[in-house]
Structure 1
């Protein structure tokens, strides 16, 4: 009957799959997106989660309950009379069935019988013709989405596995000979998959790439070279054989336009740096112009880093000069490492030039690198002033951590005999930070005392005490020594009394300064009293104090008696006097005896 062809046409047309959007023909696999609901004319959307569909044997008669259950089991969409009547005038094969012609073909059967039989035959024909299998089978791309011959097929995967197994093989047979023996249809996709194979040695990957270049022109591309370099660069077991083989390959193809870029060369320099092959890394750096590549900030840093591992300071500075000329600097952290490296090589002036360029480019260094630069500059007499100027750029929020850095500059100023500049910096530290410690005060006090600027030295010591810092024995000794050198022994003795008040135990140096000072002023009694006070205070005099006193008594006071007593004290203390000084006592004694004898004879 007429409705049979229309129903069948509607059913199959409504459920037939539409072509998928075209995908890349060279993709290794295709992901199928879900089929969206679609409509037929004005009909409502047909969802693949089909609802119950009832076929009618005639416009006014439904199929029997059994057939309805069978249809429900297939999950068809429920349809109305009007939907069936609008399904079209032709069958699935496109032949016009015609209403009455169909009736004759049915042999004049009853309409109800024909209806049931038609539905049954429809299902049987669909199964026989595999229409139902096509309808309910898993989704398959059709039309332009069909599998492209250039894609990686199952055969290609097998070929990839063959190559991978061969590259992982540790046999001694030459790699290229082994590759020639296997049948492989080379393609860009296959080579890319092989290059991304883990646990393959670098020299085997390079050997495979060379072999592929001979047979497949598409392999010679920047993308393939990048894959190869990335594979070796990221390898955990990178060795020098693979790195040098890769570098030889790059030198062969590097002059061809578009096969090498800055990133590839940077990775090569990094690889040689990891292998501590600094000269090879420098060779890569020197090839940038030949390969028409422009070095960037990382290029310079990686080259310097490779040279650092071999302590090649001069070569590193030549790279730095090119970096400064180009104006391409790495980030602040890397630049800080470069500056620290130059300072370690005692190239502080050069490191300062790098710092100035960073300032011009507004690149901020890590605080540790800046501290190292300032401290290194302050260790050299000719660069102390530069270090002092750099302190003006110290971040105010980090001043509390800069005690050591500022202290090194104070020490440097004192060393070059600029105590007043050191004093200014000390006062600046006391006012705005970082807080100076006892060592910094001692540097300044020592420099002022050695320069004879005793008033300033005393003033700095008072500031020190005002900040809750107690001057140590060294500080008192320095001031005492300054007074003693100027012949101001009363002032020196006053400092001694103050030190004695603040410290339970003094050092032998404290008394040594007083004894020498009194001897210089020929105040021998006071010198002897200091020696006695020294022993009473629990400080044992050493041979130097005795030697100084004995020589002074013999040569200036001609008091060999006192000198001989001191010699006996030394023996009791277990100290030994030098032979020349001992002979001096004997000589003075004999001279005095001769003088007395001559005087007696003269009177007689």
Structure 2
């Protein structure tokens, strides 16, 4: 006797398949007939074909993945029965298959109707939903689950979930809860996901630890480590014992957020509970220790991992190698690289890139070039970052022309240069004092349609200011602003310094006011640069206005006070200097010996002894002994301009 299974038709694929699952050949024998819609075609395989297959095997129609719960109808048939009996059995089997197909068709039609309705506004009032409400028995858990899986709008999915849950004859299953939690978490609707978990808890449904892991991962991806820890603690409070996956999830979140001490604490807890550790656990903790600069402990953890029989993967080794290379510990990096190969773990392009970076970092550019050249023979094709690391190393040792040739070589091999590649060349040109070549490269980028980023512009402006190419720097600043970029404060400050050194006090004032509009109001050094530029240009009134503005916004340090005081004296603004020293005394007594000495020297030179004696007496009362005595016009010691 052989078991003959009824056909089950796939509505998704619109095919049915006759196969021989017991065939000894490597492939199953398949005969496929495509259906129109979900109906049984009028033309079926000839009976002799079916007869032939029925004698040797079972007949089964393979349905799509969604039809997991499709029932198989079994009938027994005698292989040696007469042809009429076989025809009768075949007819009964086809009738049963048609009935099943019709049921599955109705199932998917209902799913489609609900999903389509959810795309409309006020979907609860659509005719399909109204009809469904009146036919409550038609809404099954598997329908709700499929509708949820098809939703791309998390809010609509949540609305439907709550709507279905309010129907009298329907109750959510655990699969539906899990589906909506995943949807909400993926859309960063984590508060709503937590509310669903509470609802599950209130309804007495068992909450799988995987649900907590989903929430922790989403909170971790958003950088909300506090919330991720709350979920982790809630999991334990509710009586669930975290497993390897849960611990790994919270460890990854903490290390990513640089909450390194907390990560080590969780790891110790994991050890205490004897939770099994896998490669991800060890890799995460090696990364944590490297970030804390505990490289010896990180190496020890790798050894411990090997002793326990765990297999470090390429990420594990590369994590440790990258940290060693970034710190210039190349001998140790070579040891780990060798151990990696001994263990049968092949380094990837990222591993090689870090080794090349480390060699350039310690100035061994020639060795880095050798590593780059031997990568293909080791089964690893260099990428553009491999070339960029060497280019940056060449630029740092004054070999930018070779770096440019290397970029051409990379392009010739079909690699697309990144902005990092061009920025490395910019740095090299400015280190060598070649601003014109840097500007030519900038023009080349524009011709090729490569749009510079903020780092590119910042590098260019710093380099142009360094080599006193202020007009080009100003033009570049205007171009940057037209493209919608905003330069950071250090770059603007460097440009301001360049303008002040060039004596362009008007441009300096304009840039300074623009910096204030951008919110940079309280930098004493920037204030002093522009004050000093105005003093040198003889714009004393503007300098005085800026100084008192500085005092109102951010009281300057004593060095700035004394510099401005001295500049007033040099520029024969003695009355302003007197007023300034009084202001210093009245506002917290910030004046020191240098402050008094600067003014006393000028007062003595101008034969204003009465005023000088008053300030000298004030200084003595404050326990200060200025270098100049107005009674004998003698300097007790060499005048020191600053403390």
TM-score interval (norm. to shorter): 0.3 to 0.5
Which structure has the larger Rg? 1
TM-score (ref. length: structure 2): 0.37
